[in-house]
């Protein structure tokens, strides 16, 4: 099977897509409860950025974070078990869909507060600078976070202290149900970031190769001591904001238009045209990904809820097992 960088990007996007599609099925069957936000349509952002990171780099994400966690190294088993509420989950079943966390892979959430991850990322980057290391902290957030005070405070401090952090704005045009041009007088988000003297530019978030190229340039600059950098990744979610969202704020024709730019289908077509993806390779990728997700679902379904006797555990700070 092909091991080209672009073929691997295709596989990583497909891993996210198949995981999210299965999550939708399981949620509809009431196997997963609570709020859930899926990433279908935005896979090129996580796959492109993650491909440029080292295993010891840190990642902070939002509540739409299943794909980020998966590509950071959190197993599909641990993710689905967490969403089922099993003790086998990455947070022992206490976090659920919006609060995935894994210390071993340095995946720091999963954060239900809009813009809540930005100050955390600044703190992680400050700790890294103070320790003299060269690990990069990457912070993913939606364009809705730009309206929050934490966005401005975090960018200001990161620039002031020249911290090793890469801010990645996943601009999908709708902060929940509010269009960007209805909430921001200046819709060029990279330009906003540049006002803090941070190198910032936009990239096509529906083109995984373009994302990987932009992220590689930014990550290399941050790691080499260039201070904070900012990417505005212009993308689109194909499904509603959350599973509870009736989605009355955008036309179906708009959604269908964006689906024509599906990042997975687009890259597959490009690889076929370039002769870089034989049919056997695509079939092998599909089977590998399908087997991984099937195994994760079976693992989660065989999981165990936390014993009632453990409910008071972690009410106060204590060491993790």
pTM above 0.85, yes or no: yes
Tell me the mean pLDDT in the region 298-304.
97
Confidence of residue 23 (pLDDT cuts 50, 70, 90): very high
117 in a structural domain: yes
312 in a structural domain: no
- How many CB atoms are closer than 10 A to CB 272? 13
Range of the domain at 273: 5-300
Is residue 175 a contact partner of residue 182, using CB atoms and an 8 Å limit? no
316 in a structural domain: no
124 in a structural domain: yes
Mean pLDDT for all residues in the chain: 95
pLDDT in tens, 184-213: 999 999 999 999 999 999 999 999 999 999
Confidence of residue 128 (pLDDT cuts 50, 70, 90): very high
Q: What is the largest CA-CA distance in the chain?
A: 59
The structural domain count of the chain equals 1
Element (H, E) at 301: helix 279-301
261 in a structural domain: yes
Rounded distance between C-alpha atoms, residue 200 and residue 167, angstroms: 9
pLDDT in tens, 241-288: 999 888 889 999 999 999 999 999 999 999 999 999 998 999 999 999
247 in a structural domain: yes
203 in a structural domain: yes
Return the bridge partners of 169, or none.
141, 232
**Measured on CA atoms in the order 46, 47, 51, 56, is the torsion positive or negative?**
positive
Q: Report the DSSP pairing between strands 229-234 and 58-60.
A: unpaired
Tell me the mean pLDDT in the region 132-161.
97
Q: What is the DSSP string of 28-65?
A: HTTSS-S-----TT-HHHHHHHHTT--TTSEEE--SS-
Pairwise pLDDT comparison (107 vs 175), residue with the higher score: 107
pLDDT in tens, 91-112: 999 999 999 999 999 999 889 9
* pLDDT over threshold 70, residue 320: no
pLDDT in tens, 53-93: 999 999 999 999 999 999 999 999 999 999 999 999 999 99
CATH of the domain at 43: 3.40.50.970
305 in a structural domain: no
């Amino acid at each position: 099977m092909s091991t080209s960088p672009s073929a691997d990007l295709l596989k990583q996007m497909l891993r996210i897509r198949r995981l999210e599609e299965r999550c939708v099925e399981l949620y509809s069957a009431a196997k997963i409860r609570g709020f859930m936000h899926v990433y279908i349509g935005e896979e090129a952002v996580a796959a492109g950025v993650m491909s440029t990171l080292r295993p010891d780099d840190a990642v902070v994400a939002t509540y739409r974070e299943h794909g980020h966690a998966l590509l950071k190294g959190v197993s599909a088993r641990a993710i689905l078990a967490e969403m089922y509420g099993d003790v086998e989950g990455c947070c022992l079943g206490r976090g659920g869909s919006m609060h995935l966390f894994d210390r071993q892979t340095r995946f720091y959430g999963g954060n239900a507060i809009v813009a809540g991850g930005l100050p955390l990322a600044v703190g992680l980057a400050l700790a890294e600078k103070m320790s003299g290391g060269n690990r990069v902290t990457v912070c993913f957030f939606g364009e809705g976070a730009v309206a929050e005070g934490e966005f401005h405070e975090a960018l200001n401090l990161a620039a002031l202290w020249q911290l090793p952090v890469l801010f990645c704005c996943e601009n999908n045009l709708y902060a929940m149900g509010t269009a960007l041009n209805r909430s921001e007088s200046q819709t060029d988000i990279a330009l906003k970031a540049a006002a803090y003297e941070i190198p910032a530019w936009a990239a096509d978030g529906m083109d995984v190769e373009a994302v990987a190229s932009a992220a590689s340039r930014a990550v290399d600059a941050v790691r080499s001591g260039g201070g904070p950098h900012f990417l505005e990744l212009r993308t689109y979610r194909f499904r509603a904001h959350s599973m509870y969202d009736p989605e009355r704020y955008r036309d179906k024709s708009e959604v269908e238009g964006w689906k024509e730019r599906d990042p997975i289908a687009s890259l597959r077509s490009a690889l076929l045209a370039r002769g870089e993806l034989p049919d056997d390779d695509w079939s092998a990728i599909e089977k590998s990904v399908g087997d991984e997700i099937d195994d994760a679902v079976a693992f989660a379904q065989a999981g165990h809820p936390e014993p009632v006797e453990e409910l008071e555990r972690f009410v106060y700070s204590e060491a993790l097992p």
